[in-house]
Every structure is written in C-alpha cells, then in structure tokens.
Amino acid sequence: MNTIFTEHLLSIMIAMPFLGIGIIACIQDQEWIRRVALGCTLGDAVLALVLLREFDFSTQGMQFVERMAWMPTFNIQYAVGVDGISLLLVLLTTLLCPFCVLCSWKSITTRVRSFMAMILLVEGAMIVVFTALDLFLFFMLWEVTMIPMYFMIILWGGPQRIAAGIKFVLYSLSGSLILLLAILGLYVEGGRTFDILALAENTYSPDAQFWIFLAFFLAFAIKLPMLPFHTWLPDAHSEAPTAGSVLLAGVLLKMGGYGFLRFCLPMFPEASVTFAPFILWLSVAAIVYGGYMALAQSDLKKLVAYSSISHMGFVTLGIFVFNNHGIQGAILQMVNHGITTGALFLAVGQLYDRTHSRSIQDYGGLQKSMPRFVALFCLFSVASFGLPGTCNFIGEFLVLVGTSFESYVMVLLSMGGIVLAAAYMLWMLQRVVLGQPKNSTIAQLPDLNMRELVTVIPLAVLILGIGLYPSPLMEMMDSSVTHLTQHMAQYQLGMIHEVSLR
C-alpha cells in the first residue's frame, strides 16, 4: 500500500483540490465550505511534505513519474513527474493556498462557494503545470489557471475590476496563442510527440530554434511579466481580492520563469545564447524601472505590484547568465518572491479589511494601535528589498554573483534597483507606521487576531529561516541545476570550437 501511495503521490496531490471542489459543490453552509477548502489545501501541503521527504536529492532526473495513455492517436499522455526545480515550485504552491483560504475567511462574504472553488482550481492546475511531462497537458492546465483568476478579479475585485479583468485576459490569451504556436512548432520539429523529456533530447535546426524559442519567450515574458509586457500586472494586482493577489504574485508569475528553465534553455541552447544579451539588458531595465515606478506609487498594492516587476527581473537575469550561481539564485528568487510578496499582500489585505483604503496617505502611526501587525509588516518590507538575514538577500546575492561573470556593469545597475527597493519600502514604512494617526479611526484599529497571525507568522518564519539557512533549498535543486548548466556549457564550448575552426 505504501508503494502504491508513493507511486501515485503526484496524482493524489492533483486530485485533492478537484475533489474538494466536488465536495463544496454539495455543501450549503458557508462555514463548512470554508473548512473543507482549508482542509483540502492543508491536505495538499502535507502531501507536499511527504513528496519532499521521499525525494532523492542526489539525482538530476525526474522522480515520481506517472504515465498513462490519454489520446494515443495523437501520442498524448497523462504524464507527470518532478525534479529539483519543479519540486520547489510545487512546495511554494501548496504553502500559499491555505493562507489564501484563511485570509478570505471573513473578507469574502458573497459567493463563498465559488470563491473557494476558484482557489482550489488554481492550486490543482498549478501543480499540473509544474509537474507536467506532456506538452498538451501542460498547455491545457496553463490555460485553466487563467479562468479562476479572471473571475476572482471581476467578481470580488475593486472598483476598476472589470477593466483590470479584461486587460488580464487579453494579455493572457495573447500569450497563450503564442505558446500554442510554439508547442505546435515543437511538435512538428520534434518528431510528432508531446513528450517533454523526449523533446529535450532532440536536436533542432538553427532556424527552428530561433522561431520556436522566440514564440516561447514571448509567451513566458507576458506571464512573468517582463518589460515591456508588464502593464497588465499593476491593474490586476490592485483590483484583485487579497487571495487573488497572493496567488497571482506568489504562484502564477512563476510559470514564466519555470517555462524558461523547462523549455527554452534545455531545448534551444543556440537560440538561448543568441537572445541572452538582449534578455539580460531587458532584465536589468526591469529591475531599475520596477523600483523607480514603485517609488512613485501612493497605492499600497500597486507599490507591491511594481516591486514584483523589479524582483522578477532578477529571475530572468539569473537564468540567462547560464551558470550555477545565477540559475540557483533565480530559482531561489522565485520561491523567495512568492513568500515575501505573498506576505506583503496578506498584510495589505489585513489593513484593507479594517479601513477599506489602500492609499498610503490614509495611514500613519500604526505602531501605536497595531504593534503586532507593524512588527510583521516591517519584516516583510525589509525582506522585500533583500536585507541580509532574510530570504530575498540570498537569491539576489547569488544572481549578482552569477551576473558578475557576464558583466560588472549589469551588476552595478542591478544594485541600483536594490537601492531603489530600499528607498520605496522604507519611505512607505515611514508614512504608514510612524508619525501620528491620520484620524481617530486609524488610532483605534484593532491589532491582528489569532486567525490573521496564523496566516502570516509561518511566512515570517520562512523568511528568516531561508535567509539564515538556505542550504536545504540549495540541495533540492543542485543536481537539476548542475545538469542544466553543464548542458549549456557543453553547447557554448561547441560554439567556441566551431568559431575557432572557421
């Protein structure tokens, strides 16, 4: 029985959220709907810990692989598996979803069943995206993630929710259509198979690599989002409910970075090297631009949203320097960004639930009325700009070390983005936390209750834990990242040898 459970662990994790949707569809009581949703997300988190315990860190290949014929006529399979890279993103997904349920416990009072179903649907779809070993399965669930996020924004969002939701869908659909073109091109060039592992072993002509890589790049750049495809993100974040913002920043943005690591680098090394200088400078521009725009914001959620553009610039910067330090830093930054930005959105949501205002000017003097909140909010804010001892520092440091092998100018400009991050976060803290309360309502705000503390304290522990002892996360991805960088190094050496012969 234990062997059967382990062999089908990923399928059980995928099925858990969808089972939860079926159960809450039959329940009328809103309190029990919330409890079932929380139970399903916590159940998946426990299964993720079992997955972590059983995972063999010494091997770079896929583990817990399950395959079953799905549509044999088109050579399509239900195929899932994890390596050191996807394992971390599965853990991140299952970590954040219970907190999304908890933060919505009191704030979501209408269509509770539908809202909880949306959270479960995102969780199930994201686990498939990060574990799929079949391109058709990957694309189908990639598309599914868009649906619940759209409805979260337009049904439970802010005053401009309709415009933000439509903008989100238009960008997402554009990226999806480009991704579909890339998948079809890869299917034809790769021997009429959707098997991701088999496609990664094939060799593609320079022309095929160029065009298919370009299509994949545009699709993933929109999802990440990279400059200049970022304009949908601030609106979506500012109008989405708290849980929607946490899922969007914490999990969905990581689909773009994961796509670069799973498809672009291993399958199209020549095109990756060709496009790398352009992507690196675009990443540096995003780091500086995101920090500059965040500095100009008066809306708390938009400030955090623009900070995400800057942080995700570090992800693409680390990926496309093609060395161990850079790629490990990029993966760590994806996980760390999910934790710190998710925590910031949770904290902003806790403020919004009390005042129904996101404007920085409406606050002040919170250290007097909400000392517990202020202590945690300050930790999340300084972690966001990479204070040593917090998790973001480790990821950004490794990315900068990896980038130093490529260009010291890029390192210096990226460090300018970190300075901007410190400026906008500290200035925001000064206006929100210090000084005198703006009015009697702010002076009498209640501090965090037990449910709210349970929602954010685990993230605070992870921020400090990873920042002080990142070694376990490094060990998880080490074999997979080493295999990927060796693959890129072999190709780069081959290019150098070919040029020398000419």
**Average pLDDT, stretch 237-256?**
92
d(CA 250, CA 98) in angstroms, rounded, equals 13
- DSSP string of 357-401? --BGGG---HHHH-HHHHHHHHHHHHHHTT-TTSHHHHHHHHHHH
User: Lowest mean pLDDT: which of 369-373, 419-423, 424-428, 439-443?
Assistant: 439-443
Tell me the longest C-alpha to C-alpha distance in the chain: 77
Question: Could you report the per-residue pLDDT of 176-215, keeping only the tens digit for each?
Answer: 999 999 999 999 998 889 999 999 988 888 899 999 999 9
**Average pLDDT, stretch 137-147?**
93
Residues 6+ positions from 218 with CB-CB distance below 8 Å: 175, 178, 229
**What Å distances lie between residue 72 and 77, 194, 348, CA to CA?**
7, 11, 49
How far does Cα 271 stand from its chain's mean position? 25
Q: Is the pLDDT of residue 490 over 80?
A: no
Strands 63-71 and 76-82 come out as antiparallel
Task: Spell out the SS3 assignment of 77-104.
Answer: EEEEEECHHHHHHHHHHHHHHHHHHHHC
What percentage of the chain carries pLDDT values higher than 90?
Answer: 75
Q: What is the pLDDT of residue 1?
A: 47
Q: What is the pTM of this model?
A: 0.94
Tell me if 227 sits within 8 A of 285, measured CB to CB: yes
d(CA 63, CA 242) in angstroms, rounded, equals 34
435-440 contacts at long range (C-beta below 8 A, 24 or more positions apart)? 435/364, 435/365, 436/364, 436/365, 437/364, 437/365, 437/366, 437/368, 437/369, 438/361, 438/362, 438/363, 438/364, 438/365
Residue 485: closest CA among 255, 314, 327:
327
Q: What is the pLDDT of residue 419?
A: 93
**What Å distances lie between residue 474 and 40, 251, 333, CA to CA?**
29, 20, 12
Residue 253: closest CA among 192, 212, 309:
309
Helical axes 324-355 vs 391-404, angle rounded to 10°: 150
Helical axes 269-295 vs 408-433, angle rounded to 10°: 30
Q: What is the pLDDT of residue 404?
A: 94
pLDDT band at 459; cut points 50, 70, 90: very high
Question: Could you report the per-residue pLDDT of 316-363, keeping only the tens digit for each?
Answer: 999 999 999 999 999 999 999 999 999 999 999 999 998 888 889 889
Question: Could you report the per-residue pLDDT of 250-308, keeping only the tens digit for each?
Answer: 899 999 999 999 999 999 999 999 999 999 999 999 999 999 999 999 899 999 999 99
d(CA 112, CA 104) in angstroms, rounded, equals 9
Does 388 sit behind a cis peptide bond, omega within 30 degrees of 0 on the bond before it?
no
